[in-house]
Chain A
Amino acid sequence: MDRMTRNITLIALLLGSSLHAEDAEALFVRRVWPLFQEKCLACHGNDEKKIKGDYDMRTLESATKGGESEVKALVPGKPEESPLYLASTRQHEDDWEPMPPKEADKLYAEQLAWIKDWIAGGAPWPDEAKRNAIAKANAKKWSAEDGITVKTTGALSPEWANRRYKPEALWGYQKVQKPEIETRNGENPIDALIAMRMPEGVKPASAADARTFIRRATFDLLGLPPTPEEIAAFEKAFAQDGDAATKALIDRLLESPHYGERMARHWLDVVRYADSSGFANDYERGNAWRYRDYVVRSFNEDKPYDQFIKQQIAGDEMKSNDPEMLIAVGFLRMGPWELTGMEVAKVARQRFLDDVTNSVGETFLAHSLQCARCHDHKFDPVPTHDYYSIQACFGTTQLAERPASFLKSENTAGFEESKYLETRRIEHMAVLKQLDDKMLINAEKWFAEKKLDRTVWDKAVANARKFVQGGGQMRKARSFTGVFEVARSALQKQGLPEGQYPPKLVGFTPEDFGNERVARKGLERLKWELDRYEPFAFSVYDGRTPQMVSVNQPMRMPKDRMTEGELEQTAILGGGDPFSPTKPVKPGVLSILNTIEFPDAIEGRRTMLANWIASADNPLTTRTIVNRLWLWHFGQAIAGNPNNFGSTGKKPTHPELLDFLAATLVEKKWSLKEMHRLIMTSAAYRRSSELQMADSKLSREDAEKSYAVFKPRRLMAEELRDAMLSITGELNPVMGGIPNRPEINIEVAMQPRMVMGTFASAWVPNPLPQQRHRRSLYALKIRGLRDPFMEVFNEPAPDFSCEARDVSTVTPQVFSLFNGQASYNRALALANRVMKEKATDAVGRVFELTFGRKPAADEKALCEAHWKQMEAKQAQISFAKHQPPLTVKREAVEENTGEKFSFHEKLPAYADFVPDLQPTDCDAKTRALADVCLVLLNSNEFAYLY
């Protein structure tokens, strides 16, 4: 029984059912009134206009009177006759609808007892002054018994400000306290801290064998499997000196550039990286890849984590001339965002502000701040004031793609692929030109039909022709300027009445409407894609908020950023609505931790915020990152919700360990690589996943939770794909650069995808196998078009931050991995590799590459028999040569006309397509060995990591 329950029971015992009047009053102040505030008043009083069931609980009088049932709700002295109590018990459903309505909000037995005792005690209802006096008189006593209050700024109500918290619910805000640990014989302090909480009598599993360990460590740090040679070398070294070999292995892996790629995958899950903007247009974010590579570089350089934070929040403010810093703040824009002509600009701006506020909270502070957007946080000491204070740090943050020259460390290869986009651009321009000519002819017809004089028109057309031939207003030739439209708007500007000159898109057929729209929107979309090869960063700047109507092309930083536009005054927004500002707030931080004076300036707010977050004294920051690191190694975090350290998140299972790691991180100068070394050399990490359960009373789950045994895991989607490419020898290990496009399920690749006003272009894979076979990290990530293979294996959608990946077992995984073309391709490539190597024991070699071990005799016999059997089958199959499609037909209902309309999308990149190794390239024997390979790639031994 915890202290709180004990106290309550005690009160109940002492007081029985007949309280003295003053005790009942105290009970009301201490328990009942706060309970009403928390559970009832949202619907029964706080908002006068929206009182539900006509029942108002703000005063004794109205609470007694009852609601629309017209039955007295409160009978002092008689709880069993008081509907208020009866409804709360949820036991009288026939007469009284259970309250609060949500099952999740139901009152606990103690809470019911408070209401019951208070009514039995006469239901006294002291007024506010008296309530305050009673609270004041009892403050000391109650806080000792009930928990503590905390100091925050600007709560919306005194009740909330004086709310009490159980100390354990506030663990995240407590100062990090490095535990004193006694270790013997070079014992890793982590193990001492884990041993402290090991259930009594449990003997942890012994260390994993060398082969298991190298596979575990290599996947954990690189996301790739070890090669058979690496395994053999490690086994040999391990046999000589296990500790030294382990240390050397970890050092080697941490030095591998693939380490950064692996850590970036984790980080990008948290920050929701994607190469497109989502929503209606889902425009590509041509420069986002540079942020992805910045993350990889940062991990590889072992950039101190505090620097990593500061750069992502305020890099541009700290070093505005450093391209790297302009790239780093791309973090602030990782969420989906767009502004279409259909939307209200202010609403879209607010979406960005809400997104970035919450994202900074979740990513760095393990605080889901959005819960405080409309009201003071229900559970945590985060007043809505704090939410808007943090938001105010971004009130002058504006979005732009900023010039940032390419760095030496960036991979700028492959830009020549823009020629395929160029082909498309030229084609769109040609269509628009053709339609322009057509409109000019149609215009003449129009004049003839209307019997109007066309002298003015002809003159306007002649001028327009000159203007267009002189280059028009084309920006880098990426927009189309038509003679017809220039002439028409000239006349419009001259104030010629409508009807004296031809209407827009004059004389168009449904097909013309469709072609015009596809070309125009296609050009618009290309602007974003072509930005990929330009030295710009997906970035932000400080300034006033410019007036915007819609965003249809990459945004550039305005010259008059400090003077033009609105200087936003952040205010608490009623109900989170940008049109309902209430109290203005200044930039600030979480007030439970600190109060900081921000200078009243446009620039520098984010730097202040970043410095506060990245301070060694900020207990949330250090705990957040070491908790994530732990999760990335053990598949379970110490505090079970890495994005939520609030009272609704899971409490740390090993709080001392968490604090030890947090403190150590600062001692090690925020070096994450040092933390990996520390964690991975612990006995806990080196433990086997095999526990002789017969000896143990622990359930498997508890054994894993207490780290008595290592928790195995299924490979992540990206690991599955990368591992397959790695063992077939197809993986192209080149790092960074513009995103690549691997082959995805062809039906999905070709499926028409609707975006605002048109179809997005088809997914066309890179022409060459080595371009396609790069690590999954580099695959173009479009929010509206996900690789179904990745999706079914639990790759998170990039809309919400993913604190930890789900692992589910669903049938579509089988379709993908066992039926999918990619799996067949990998199996064939693996078989081909082994055949080409002329291995004396082909099956043995396949096992070695896939599982890192030789097959047992019976396994080998089975597989060889299967090989033989399948060779006969394979000999009978005839295969068609792979023919990539060069166009795809798109059908739609034309928006302007409602008529059916179709066009052919050209796929120029397919003209140069070189397919992966095809069945037609291999003999039946190889193809039959590929059957064996396919089976191994689908096996549990391959998919699970122990």
Chain B
Amino acid sequence: MNRNFFPCAGARALHAPTRREFVYGLGTTLGSVALTSLLAAEQKGPLAPKGQMVPAKAKNCIFLMMEGGPSHIDCFDPKPVLEKLHLKEFTREGKMKSAMESGKRYYVKSPFKFAQHGQSGAWMSEPWQHLPKVADEMCFFRGCQVDSVNHPTAMYQMNCGNRFGGDPAIGAWVTYGLGSVNQDLPGFIVLPEVSYPQGGSANWGTGYLPAQFQGTALRSKGSPILDLQPPQGITPEHQRANLDLLAKLDATHAADHPWHDELKARMNNYELAFRMQMEVPEVIDLEQEDAKTKEMYGIGKDATDAFGRKCLLARKLVEKGVRFVQLYNGTWDSHDYIERAHGNLIRGVDQPIAALITDLKQRGLLDDTLIVWCGEFGRTPDNGVRGGTAYGRDHNPKAMTVWMAGGGCKAGHTIGATDDRGMEAIEEVRHVRDLHVTLLRLLGLDDNKLTFYHAGRFKQLSQIGGNPIDKLIA
């Protein structure tokens, strides 16, 4: 059985030329691509690697986006007080009262037992069975806050800094700032769920940055990149013949318009694309990995197969020099029955993530690679009576847990704190823009220097500037 990461994508790799014969790029223009693998030092163009602005360990980032809003209270931030308050009435007053508050509300305790792990004593809930083994690699942050209580706007803010979408995603900024080591692959790759998150692909958009920094979604079902292959029946030879005719006609036209540079860029683009459609299936083929590795990631087990494949592919991509890989999992939007819902979700990612950290460490890549885990917000300690008492939680922009591993973060520490009910951050309280500034800093970028002039002003990921959270940096 063909068990590629992308089950439908392997067949065409049979004809794939070796890497030595072909190089290709995505979204690069003329001048940035010629034999780039061999001539890395001389690369020019938007995706050419650039130096860090400030000294930092991390060179790559794997961003684990738990879409829907994972509950800090049921994952990493235990609230024993809720045991006593369980099912007692909850009221919230004030201006921020939304319709979410309508009806009766009551406190909900976490259904999970918590324990401390590692030398650092990191708190984790019971369903996390594998992550405890790497607890001392992790740095937990409990002080982050966002502005929005709705999924798409909070997702946009976490990903792009701006609640209303349309701005460059963090991966686009990082690639813009650092370029990409591998000119043969996009610098910013996204591994979405089959169903895109609310807000869609704008979550990995390039905004006003040049199109080259757009996140490229490798789809987990069907064609990994849209229209990567021609329709059924069209062989590579067939296509090559068409391409040859195109090249000849375009050459005549270009000779008549020698001053028109765009023509050459566009001609070149066709050759790059042709090579790429040969190469991508090979890149995403997980079959070459040994059985032990696959087992470690939980590949082949129902609960963990999907996310295990993503994590393993993320490692492969980072190894190949992809700058920024974002993985989606979800939805963690557990409004009801948190025990079942979050229990299943945690079990789906626990082993794969632990394996990713372990594997990167074994390969000496963990220092170079910053892993970030978060959702778009946290969850409330209470729930409303909707379908009866259902032990779930609503959205909470005022408290959440973000954790990092590798890449120069302060491993083995828990920074910041939420109040005794997990309702609001109360220690090291930071707006998400400070988290963004910190992530950039860990990757050697200075948010205040990583700017782009657009619509009359210099814009930046943090929107208005922010301060790094020094306590998260080793």
Contact = CB atoms under 8 A, between A and B. Distances in A.
> Are both chains from one complex?
yes
Nearest to A703: B259
Interface string B445-470: 00011010101111010000100000
Contacts of B242: 818, 866, 870, 931, 934-935
Interface in A890-946: 891-893, 895-900, 919, 931-932, 934-936, 938-941, 943-944, 946
A862 B232 contact: no
Contacts of A799: 164-166, 202
Please give me the 6 A-B residue pairs with the lowest Cβ-Cβ distance, nearest first. Answer: A898-B341, A648-B456, A814-B273, A503-B388, A341-B99, A898-B340
A714 interface: yes
A810 B26 contact: yes
Given A754-B195, A754-B331, A342 B98 contact: yes
A342 B274 CA distance: 47
B269 A809 contact: yes
Q: Which of A379, A649, A893, A936 has the most CB of B within 10 A?
A: A893
Given A898-B344, A941-B249, A943-B266, A279 B152 contact: yes
A931 B205 CA distance: 34
A811 B213 CA distance: 12
B253 to A, nearest CB: 5
A60 to B, nearest CB: 27
Contact of B197 (A644, A649, A754, A880): A754
A129 B148 CA distance: 45
Interface string B227-259: 111111111011001100110111011100101
B334 interface: yes
A751 interface: yes
B189 to A, nearest CB: 13
Interface residues of B, number: 109
A862 B248 contact: yes
A172 to B, nearest CB: 13
Interface stretch (A98-106, A230-238, A526-534): A98-106
Interface residues of A, number: 108
Interface string B197-225: 11111100100001110101001011101
A342 B395 contact: yes
Nearest to A516: B387
Given A340-B99, A641-B456, A934-B242, 4 more contacts: A505-B387, A644-B456, A785-B200, A939-B250
Interface string A735-753: 0000000000101100111
Interface string B311-347: 0000000000000000000010111111111111100
Contacts of B245: 862-863, 866, 932, 935
Given A812-B225, A940-B250, A818 B334 contact: no
Contacts of B166: 797, 799-800
A635 interface: no
B54 to A, nearest CB: 11
Given A646-B456, A747-B222, A712 B152 contact: no
B151 interface: yes
Contacts, number: 283
A179 interface: no
A280 interface: yes
Contacts of B231: 819, 821, 824
Nearest to A355: B164
Interface of A: 101-104, 278-280, 336, 340-346, 368, 371, 378-379, 503-505, 508, 513, 549-550, 579, 641, 643-644, 646, 648-649, 690-691, 693, 700, 712, 714, 745, 747-748, 751-756, 759, 784-786, 788, 794, 797, 799-800, 806-816, 818-821, 824, 856, 858-859, 862-863, 866, 869-870, 873, 877-880, 891-893, 895-900, 919, 931-932, 934-936, 938-941, 943-944, 946
A641 B394 CA distance: 43
B386 A102 contact: no
A378 B254 CA distance: 46
A825 to B, nearest CB: 9
B14 interface: no
Contacts of B198: 279-280, 754-756, 784
B341 A893 contact: yes
Q: Which of A279, A643, A800, A858 has the most CB of B within 10 A?
A: A279
B254 A810 contact: no
B27 A811 contact: yes
B29 interface: yes
Contacts of B212: 808, 810
Nearest to B341: A898
A341 B260 contact: no
B165 A940 contact: no
A343 B149 contact: yes
A897 B337 contact: yes
Contacts of A806: 211
A308 B242 CA distance: 49
B390 A940 contact: no
Contacts of B386: 504
Contacts of A896: 335-337, 387, 390, 392
Interface in B365-404: 386-390, 392, 394-395
Contacts of A821: 227, 231
A939 B253 contact: yes
Q: Which of B98, B194, B216, B336 has the most CB of A within 10 A?
A: B98
Contact of A503 (B210, B273, B387): B387
Contacts of B272: 811, 814
Contacts of B227: 745, 788, 812, 815-816, 819-821
